[in-house]
Chains A and B, each alone.
Chain A
Amino acid sequence: MAIETQPDRAQGAGGGQPLGRSGARPWWRRPAIHTAIVGAVIGYLLGHLLGDYLTGATGAANQYPNVPLSDSEDWPIVLGYVFAIVGWLAGLGVFNDIFRQMIGRPAAYNGNGQHEDGGLAKYFRYSLDHKVVGLQYLVGMIIYFCTAGLFAMAIRTELLSPVHHVFTSQVYVEIVGEHGTMMMMLMSSVILGPFGNYLIPLMIGAKRVAFPRVEALSFWLTPMAFLILLSGLLLGGFPFGWTGYAPLSIQSTVGADSYAVAFGLMGVSMILAGFNIIVTVICYRAPGMRWSRLPMFCWAMVTTSFLMVLAAPVLVGGMYMLLMDRTAQTAFFASRLGGSSYLYENLFWFFGHPEVYILALPGFGIVSEIIPVMCRKPLFAYKVAGAGMVGVGLLSFFVWQHHLFDSGINPDMRPLFMLTTELISIPTGFIYLVALGTFWKAKIRFTVPMLFALGMYFNFLIGGVSGVFLSDVPADTTEHGSFFVMAHFHYTIMGGLIFAFMGGLYYWLPKMMGIKLNTTLGKWQFWLMFISFNSTFLPLFAVGMAGQPRRVFEYALNLQPLNDWVSISSFVLGFSILLFVINFVWSTVFVRERATANPWQSRGLEWQVASPPPAENFDQIPVVLSGPYDYGVKDAQPVADLHPPAGVLSAAISQSAATRAEA
């Protein structure tokens, strides 16, 4: 199939030194994170004042007389957050070009041609260069992960004893909610954000992404979501975990507003990020980059992006309805007034299930990308792998009621959803077929990325099989809502996604920053992390089967030894993450050992350029000549011609034009 090629001109590098006067300004006079913070604070104050006016707290006539006594300031806080978000974006300069064009002046950044100068300042700005956005995402995600991980340490500290409590139950339930929500909402972009945004143009032979502004916006919403969620602690937190079931979430005090706003905002970020990736991969592939040559990582990113674009709007809608119930006294979820608590559950899980595949698929993509390189063999059964990704993505929309088996849904729905949930394990299994086939007669190099990939396969096996146990309705009657579920999703999400993230980081950091992470520390981190991870979460299957529900601070005394073992292991796990942070900081800030352009001898297109890549990724749009997994093929073509002769590109363009003319 001929590829629709873009004339070279249309693919100037993303990012941009601003045109005109503003480029000469010093860093503190250009919009960046410091102006964003100022904007957010001003926005919050304005919104809060408006909310106070509407609800009569300022003594003005009560504009909204139906808000009853309670001194709960939902309106001021929600409006404060919303205005803070707008102020944050305004302070970043997101609206500047929009307003310029509205008044008829040319945009300052046109996303073409220029690139940002060196130095750290560009990482604190609304940069349109996808490589800058990728690194911003990387640092952001590490910060969010570590913060949520600290909450997890607090949870395990509390669970050391069922009788002696470290925190009050109020603080504990707040911590549980913060940990869960922070992880689930922010880690959905933990791979797509840093690696997807950074690497996809490089992998497909493009100089930029389709929508640099949308991409940068998707990043800059995440610190706001993170901070709004954290600020919930100042408001008393929220006592309903990350699932936010109504009517408890309507009953809660103002901390719940931070949950709803932060989660909804992150949903918007997901929609934007996914949308950008889909269009980039469809429209910006270089000539010769057929779908059958697309790296498996890109397949995973595209599938994840479709899930984001289709599922996150339901979340945003659900959060909005929740906020309306909390502030405007609507009754979407109040059964005695005509609403239904089931409505929330279904809305939430219709998003919630694709969300967990948003978390799982990128992990599949990364390990499928790493193992051919480290095994020096082609990816076994490429088409099956692609079918697996697409199949998982498609089926993930048809399984959500397996979270509701015991909740009183129509009983004849349950065999249907049991069937679809069991069916989804078939495409998930394809990933293992591909992996085992790639290992067959390979020459496995145990580099740190490969170790993490192997760890991911091990962990996801346990996680995936335990998912099959959960999909069976009778067995789920005992397992639902217990620590069995906890162990299952920690194995799939942390054991799958985060191990893959670590593997991807060790694999791609030489490309992204031109710096290699310390291998010895990396191996220590892997082994400590792998052993302590399994030691932490494997016993939780037993704990759950023995009857301990989730999110409790008191449990049966005879389960204390197991819980203590798990808690101690979790501290070791936390230490291994600390090791990672130390390695990351040590290698990137202090040692800065330069990496070669292609230290893994990979055939990936992104490895054929320098490390870090030049500003425009490629001097010219390359012509892709063969697939990225042609290891071991005698007389294999190089993966791409990076400097195709003048005739080749124009021939490709005219050929595709001729094909279209014929059609």
Chain B
Amino acid sequence: MSLPARVATLLLAFLAVAAVAAFVVIHYFLGGPPTVDYSSGVAADTGATVHVVMQEDPQNTVSTHPDWVSYFIQNPKTHAWVHTTLFKVPAGSKIDMTIYGYDGCTPLRNPVFGEVTGTIGGVEDVDGQPVKSLNSWSGCNVGHTFSIPGIGLNAPMATPSNPNANLCGSSPCTSGPHKTMTFSFMSPRATGEYFWQCRVPCGGGFLDGFGGPMQTIGFMTGNMEVVS
């Protein structure tokens, strides 16, 4: 091959490789579910209150894994339900959580996580009644948990009263049997990402129930980003 031909081929090949690499980085590596911002307009470290609303569903009909259980987070401004588990709160503030539990029950692997810890008052309200712990082995009581290990928060999610009734079938759920959990905690003063997870092995079809949605961000685990 002549020199100009070699140069041209080489340049094309290099550009192709660079384009592929850029695509992979941008699409696969830097992509991901969106972050719902609860911190805009709220001053940090003032003890201000932020109201975060989430729901957990028996499936989600909006992703490529429709039969994976999933959390949804409500956008504070538009009140639309976003299929994500990433949210942002201001540091040093009071976080009021409301979580709608639409999913049925699964026994916990370690029942110690049926106990409510890390909330203000040490309890959570299930449909208005304060609850200190839920026993996932004595009855169909626990569907999921909302746990932030970095701040010692653990809140089990109760299951709808009659789990044999038809659970909500399309996500995000707006009707169907559910329980409403409310609790509060203080967001830490140190900024950063605090991961949260569900502790119930609800990843059906995966060994120990901890695969699939349990280990995929956007479904049963995510990040609480604390910003100043």
Contacts and interface: CB of A to CB of B under 8 A. Distances in A.
B205 interface: yes
Nearest to A72: B205
A170 B6 CA distance: 41
Contact of A589 (B6, B65, B206, B223): B6
A621 B210 CA distance: 63
Nearest to A247: B207
Contacts of B21: 150
Interface of B is mostly: mixed
Given A70-B212, A168-B32, A163 B67 contact: no
Which of A71, A175, A239 has the largest count of B CB atoms less than 10 A from its CB?
A71
Interface stretch (A248-256, A263-271, A541-549): A248-256
A70 B214 CA distance: 12
Contact of B206 (A150, A168, A239, A251): A251
A165 B207 contact: no
Interface string A62-106: 000000111110000000000000000000000000000000000
A386 B149 CA distance: 56
A169 B68 CA distance: 20
Interface string A240-260: 000000010011110000000
B29 A251 contact: no
Contacts of B3: 590
B29 A236 contact: no
A interface residue count range (under 10 / 10 to 19 / 20 to 34 / 35 or more): 20 to 34
Nearest to B1: A120
Contact of B195 (A154, A169, A233, A236): A169
A310 interface: no
Interface string B177-215: 000000000000001110100000001111110111001
B48 interface: no
B224 interface: no
A239 B204 contact: no
Contacts of A239: 215
Interface in A558-610: 585, 589-590
Nearest to B33: A168
Contacts of A166: 30
B67 A71 contact: yes
Which of B24, B29, B212 has the largest count of A CB atoms less than 10 A from its CB?
B29
A253 B211 contact: yes
A162 B121 CA distance: 32
B19 interface: no
A440 interface: no
B15 interface: no
A247 B208 contact: yes
Nearest to A334: B207
B161 interface: no
Contact of B216 (A154, A170, A589, A590): A170
B164 to A, nearest CB: 18
B interface residue count range (under 10 / 10 to 19 / 20 to 34 / 35 or more): 20 to 34
B10 A72 contact: no
Contact of A71 (B29, B65, B193): B65
Contacts of A169: 195, 217
A69 B67 contact: yes
A590 B3 CA distance: 7
A163 B227 CA distance: 12
A164 B216 CA distance: 20
Given A168-B32, A590-B7, A252 B217 contact: no
Contact of A252 (B10, B193, B211): B211
Nearest to A165: B193
B109 to A, nearest CB: 12
Nearest to A239: B215
Interface string A158-180: 00000111111111000100000
Which of A150, A234, A251 has the largest count of B CB atoms less than 10 A from its CB?
A251
Interface in A96-126: none
Contacts of B30: 166-167, 171
A163 B195 CA distance: 12
Interface string B4-42: 001100100000000001001100111010000000000
Contacts of B10: 585, 589
A633 to B, nearest CB: 45
A142 to B, nearest CB: 12
Contacts of B193: 163, 165
Nearest to B67: A71
B201 to A, nearest CB: 10
A71 B205 contact: yes
B8 to A, nearest CB: 11
Given A171-B32, A589-B6, A590-B7, A253 B205 contact: no
A70 B29 contact: no
Given A69-B204, A169-B195, 17 more contacts: A69-B205, A70-B67, A70-B212, A72-B212, A163-B191, A163-B193, A167-B30, A168-B32, A168-B217, A170-B215, A170-B216, A171-B32, A234-B28, A251-B215, A253-B212, A585-B10, A590-B6
Closest 3 CB pairs of A and B: A70-B205, A251-B211, A251-B207
21 contacts: A70-B205, A70-B206, A72-B205, A154-B25, A163-B191, A163-B192, A166-B30, A168-B223, A169-B217, A170-B216, A171-B30, A175-B29, A233-B24, A234-B28, A236-B216, A250-B207, A251-B208, A252-B215, A253-B211, A253-B212, A253-B216
